[in-house]
Amino acid sequence: MKIAIYPGTFDPITNGHLDIIERASEMFDEVIVALARNSQKSPLFSESERQALVEQSLAECCPHRKNIRTDAFQGLLVEYATKRGATAVVRGLRAMSDFEYEFQMALMNRKLAPEVTTVFLMPHEEYTYLNSTIIRELAWYGKDVSTFVPKAVANALREKFEIRYH
Ligand code: ADP
């Protein structure tokens, strides 16, 4: 049984994340989409909001994929991966700009837990420019982001910023 962890902040989850999750679900017996609790970033959405959006988005995009699960973790990723019996950590690579940081993380993680391999997947070209920060910014300026994110996320962003404007 090959288990992979796909960790992230998912603030919020986008179609780029979902592309990577679907690709991973074809390669592994089980993919655990793992929300990082102790993110260094201060997220727009709370942990429970991000988790709910991940679940709703998966139900929306790929209900047929029975091998995708969701979870949240804190602490060191490799310790969590080992605890879950995972042998792979999946990361998305969009551009060279992702590379340096991801490369350092992957090597450090290999040092800490040689049995866990980092696997990099490239999304479809149309998602290579997409990231959660840009989505939050567009939504903040009132732009429609529904071509970049699942419906549940577009609605949640609309609600979040409507509340802020009042
Ligand atoms: P983190 O805080 O770990 O960077 P993110 O939620 O921003 O968490 O991203 C999680 C993973 O998804 C990272 O490997 C990131 O490179 C990848 N990712 C984010 N957006 C995209 C995208 N549009 N296409 C492919 N991979 C992506």
* Full set of structural domains in the chain with CATH: 3-165 (3.40.50.620)
Does ligand 1 come within 6 angstroms of the Cβ of 12? no
- pLDDT tens column, 22-77: 999 999 999 999 999 976 778 999 999 999 999 999 999 999 999 999 999 999 99
- DSSP, res 127: G
Would you say 58 and 32 are in contact if contact means Cβ atoms under 8 Å apart? Answer: no
**Nearest CA owner, ligand 1 atom 20:** 131
Q: Whole-model pTM above 0.85?
A: yes
Distance CA 154, CA 159 (A): 9
- For residue 127, which atom of ligand 1 is closest to its CA? 23
- pLDDT tens column, 76-91: 999 999 999 999 999 9
Identify the three-state secondary structure at position 58. Answer: helix
Identify the three-state secondary structure at position 148. Answer: coil
- The residues facing 73 across adjacent strands are 36
Is 166 a residue whose pLDDT tops 60? Answer: no
Where would I find the beta strands (DSSP E) of 3-150? 3-8, 30-36, 68-73, 88-92, 117-121
In a mutational test of the pocket of ligand 1, which residue from 38, 91, 109, 148 has the highest number of ligand atoms less than 8 Å from its CB? 91
Distance CA 83, CA 77 (A): 10
| pLDDT score, position 39 | 63
